[in-house]
């Protein structure tokens, strides 16, 4: 009887009982994907279509002129687009990797270790969640200047190397791991690094994936370091360059702005698609206690 009820609630194949859900979810999914379709189509519209009224969702006469103009403009400034791309990917990947190491080790220590000031550190991390980037811009600048990191890679990396929201999220997952499991690993001769690698990481993959997505999006779209800590154009990021075009937007540059929006948006979309199953598991886990 229980199996029959379970198959009715969650059938393994298509069932007519699912139609009512499709009638709601399919139109909702189409509505949610419209902004993505619009952004991508905008990048391929000629100038006449960009200012057409009423505006159209799909491009009628696609062109690559917007991208050619965008890449050509970067060549005129003396720094090729490939340099901005390299800077952004190098900074994003390096920051995500270092952030992941700090997050998982910090979450393990704050969750399973006993030491002085543990409660104070937890409170400091939770307080950090309340501060927006603008509120800490001056302290960040002072740290970068005092450490001599102006105009260096670490000027981009250091301010974003630790994410309080990621640490909080991963710690909540580590809290759910039974202490008996850690104790069993210790009895088998495992040290802390082995426990982190073979116990903590496999059991917190959804939270780590979510932390990776959040960190990558933050770093990829960040322009603070390029604005405040970098003086050489060759050390600035793609987000800074593309945002500078958007800031100085003119009618003639509208096509380049549309192309720039797609270039900034696509890496965020790709990494979310790659991690979406793990991110959804995080949301499911956080809602069920």
Give the pLDDT of residue 285. 55
Contact 135, 121 (CB under 8 A): no
Q: Cα dihedral sign for 21, 23, 29, 31?
A: negative
- Residues 266 and 233: their CA atoms lie apart, in Å, by 23
Name the least confident of 3-7, 57-61, 154-158, 169-173.
3-7
Confidence (pTM): 0.80
**Sole residue written with tokens 């220590």:** 109
Question: What pLDDT does 92 receive?
Answer: 93
Nearest to 258 by CA among 90, 59, 82, 92: 59
Residue 51: pLDDT band with limits 50, 70, 90: confident
Ordered alpha helix ranges (H), 10-128: 19-43, 47-50, 65-76, 81-112, 118-128
Q: Which two tokens stand for residue 223?
A: 């322009």
Q: Which of 8, 18, 73, 48 is nearest to 248 (CA)?
A: 73
Taking residues 244-260, what's their average pLDDT?
Answer: 74
Are residues 143 and 185 in contact, defined by beta-carbon separation less than 8 angstroms? no
State the Cα–Cα distance between residues 222 and 28, nearest whole angstrom.
Answer: 31
Q: Comparing 44-48, 143-147, 175-179, which segment has the lowest mean pLDDT?
A: 44-48
Sign of CA dihedral 97, 98, 101, 104: negative
Secondary structure (H, E, C), 207-229: HHHHHHHHHHHHHHCCCHHHHHC
pLDDT of 95 strictly over 90: yes
- Radius of gyration, CA atoms only, the chain: 24
131 or 248: whose pLDDT is higher? 131
Q: Reply yes or no on whether the pLDDT at 172 is more than 80.
A: yes
User: Confidence band (pLDDT; 50, 70, 90) for 47?
Assistant: confident
pLDDT of 249 reads: 59
The confidence score (pLDDT) of residue 4 equals: 44
Q: Taking a C-beta distance cutoff of 8 angstroms, is the pair 221, 239 a contact?
A: yes
Q: Are 121 and 110 in contact (CB under 8 A)?
A: yes
Q: pLDDT higher for 278 or 237?
A: 237
What is the average pLDDT score of the chain?
82
Cα 170 to Cα 282: distance, rounded to the nearest angstrom: 10
In the chain, what are the domains? 79-287 (1.10.3720.10)
């Amino acid at each position: 009887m229980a199996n029959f009820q379970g198959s009715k609630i969650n059938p393994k194949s298509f069932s007519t009982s699912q139609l009512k859900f499709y009638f709601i979810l399919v139109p909702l999914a189409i509505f949610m994907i419209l902004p993505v379709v619009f952004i991508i189509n905008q990048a391929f519209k000629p100038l006449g279509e960009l200012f057409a009224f009423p505006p159209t969702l799909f491009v009628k006469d696609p062109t690559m002129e917007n991208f050619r103009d965008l890449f050509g403009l970067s060549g005129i400034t003396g720094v090729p687009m490939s340099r901005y791309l390299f800077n952004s990917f190098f900074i994003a990947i390096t920051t995500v990797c270092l952030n992941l190491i700090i997050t998982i080790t910090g979450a393990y220590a704050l969750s399973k270790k006993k030491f002085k000031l543990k409660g104070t550190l937890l409170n400091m991390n939770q307080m950090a969640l309340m501060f927006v980037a603008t509120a800490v811009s001056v302290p960040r600048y002072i740290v970068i200047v005092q450490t001599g990191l102006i105009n260096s890679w670490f000027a981009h990396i250091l301010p974003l190397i630790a994410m309080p929201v990621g640490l909080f999220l991963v710690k909540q997952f580590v809290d759910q791991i039974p202490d008996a499991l850690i104790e069993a690993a210790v009895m088998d001769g495992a040290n802390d690094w082995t426990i982190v690698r073979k116990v903590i990481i496999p059991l917190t993959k959804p939270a780590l994936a979510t932390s990776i997505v959040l960190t990558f999006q933050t770093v990829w779209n960040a322009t603070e370091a390029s604005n405040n800590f970098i003086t050489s154009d060759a050390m600035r990021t793609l987000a800074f360059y593309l945002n500078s075009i958007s800031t100085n937007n003119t009618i003639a540059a509208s096509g380049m702005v549309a192309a720039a929006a797609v270039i900034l948006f696509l890496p965020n979309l790709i990494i979310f698609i790659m991690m979406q199953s793990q991110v959804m598991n995080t949301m499911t886990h956080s809602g069920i206690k």
